[in-house]
Structure 1
Amino acid sequence: MKVNIEKHNPYWVNLFAKESNNIKRIFGDELHSIHHIGSTSIPHISAKPIIDIMPIVNNIDNVDKYNHDFEKFDYDVHGEYGIVNRRYFTKLDKETNKKLYHVHVYDCKDDKNINRHLAFRDFLIEFPEVAKEYEDLKMMLINKYCGDKEQYVNGKNEFVKMTEKLAINWYLQNKKGYRL
């Protein structure tokens, strides 16, 4: 599978808002909060044109009962998909068959995963030079590996892990971390 990177599109925030409303309708009172994460949430950097959404729910054990509702909104249900106590959903564009949305659902008590995502996003927004370094790395990997997804993901891994550690420390010191 080939990875496609596009210049930052200000419309991505609108796609997040629209789809967030659908997710709010699905979860109702189970939803605690919802966040735009991933590279499309970071202004001015290129990204895969897939909107990452992180709903935070009151109880992760209740999420599976909403699977049918997600399917009604054209989502594919993936369960935990390799991360314990997460629920993962994807949505494809019906015309192009390309992924539009990745939805990563976490329990509101899962500070570790919530902080990891929010810290990385906020750190790259706060430090545009780090965001630019990340963008440059992604572009280099796309060119070097001709868009090969596995090579692309593996190539970013070290940068992401290192930046994530810095970001979490910064986030916890400055934002006090995610709290109810």
Structure 2
Amino acid sequence: MSLLAAPDPGWPAQAARYADAWRAHVGGLVAVHHIGSTSVPGLPAKPIIDLLAVLADEAAADAARPDLEALGYEWMGAFGLPGRRYVRLSDAKTGARRVHAHAYVQGHADIRRHLAFRDALRANAALRAAYTSVKASCAARHPDGGAAYGACKSDWIVKAEAKALETYK
């Protein structure tokens, strides 16, 4: 089985269902965005939905923990990125990862970075093709995914994000 799945037109509907649950159960939520490769039509991806949640303030971000844990999410805290609250959701029966969610307080710079990268990929076929190639190469070298797969893509992503931030302000 490959680390990357073929693009699935059902990913946006899955993301919408998860985002709706956040809206219904998480206080202080300003917005929830579908990000990552599953948010870009035509892009192969690990079949895990990435969400970007924007919370009103630090108090709301900290208070979100019990709400998210009640929804079945595992609270990971900043998980290496200052200002982020990271949670993940796995299928209770199979253990397969379903969602990675990155929550930030409104105004945090990483919100704009994530959205700019997503929007650049959606708008630019050449960028999507280049990213597809990078992802495929990294998946072949790191078929188990994880940190090694992420590190493999990292330099390319940092450069692409910087360019995207110039365009998508």
Q: Give the TM-score normalised by structure 2.
A: 0.93
Unaligned 5+ runs, structure 2: none
TM-aligned CA deviation for residue 3 of structure 1: 7.4
Superposition deviation, residue 98 in structure 1: 1.4
Q: 1:93 aligns with which of 86, 91, 94?
A: 91
Instruction: State whether residues 26 and 68 of structure 2, in contact with CA within 8 Å, keep that contact through their aligned partners in structure 1.
Output: no
Which residues of 2 match residues 10-159 of structure 1 at below 5 A? 10-28=9-27, 30-110=28-108, 112-159=109-156
Q: Spell out, residue by residue over 1:97-140, the C-alpha distance to the aligned partner (whole angstroms, 9 max, x if none).
A: 11100111111121x11110000000011111111111111112
Q: How big is the shift at 1:145? A: 3.5
Segment drifting more, 52-61 vs 141-150:
141-150
CA distance in 1, matches of 2:95, 2:137: 26
What is the TM-score with the length of structure 1 in the denominator? 0.88
Higher mean displacement: 134-143 or 121-130: 134-143
Give the Cα separation in 1 of the matches to 2:161 and 2:84.
19
Inter-partner Cα distance in structure 2 for 1:148 and 1:12: 20
CA RMSD of aligned residues (A): 1.6
SS in 1 for 2:77: coil
Give the share of equivalent positions with the same residue, in percent: 29
Contact 2:34 2:50 in 1 (8 A): yes
Aligned mates of 2:9, 2:20 — CA distance in 1: 18
* 1:3–1:149 CA contact under 8 A, matched in 2: no
CA distance in 1, matches of 2:20, 2:143: 36
Q: Distance in 2 between matches of 1:104 and 1:145?
A: 23
Distance verdict in 2 for CA 1:79–1:150, change over 3 Å: closer
